[in-house]
Amino acid sequence: MKIKITPELVKEYCAVIGDNNPIHDDDNTVKYGHPVAPGILVTAMITRNPKPYWALAKLNVRYHDAVYVGDTIEISNKILKDKMKVCVVEILIHVNDELKQTIEMTTIKLT
């Protein structure tokens, strides 16, 4: 799956969560060359619950590099464990074949 990180998406997300860090703003590109997408935005977009009636139990995220506004992220995942009540999925986020985030998401079945 591919997702485009647009300026509008970043602006709306930052407004909703109250993130006024200037590195996310189009007007402040001096240090990074262009705005940086909030890391948690990328994580939140792709950690949807894979199964109905399952709840997020644990989330480990490793940020390898920044995702920039205008990037198109490519998402791949692999199931590491799928037992009766526990599912563990590894999610990788790439931009142009460069690894940006590694996420391990554990969900549990609600009974």
Tens of pLDDT along 1-53? 899 999 999 999 999 999 988 888 876 665 667 889 998 898 887 776 667 77
If you count DSSP H runs as helices and E runs as strands, how many of each does the chain have, helices first? 2, 5
Assess contact for 67 and 73: CB atoms under 8 A. yes
- pLDDT at residue 81, rounded to an integer: 93
pTM of the model: 0.80
28: its two tokens:
């402040």
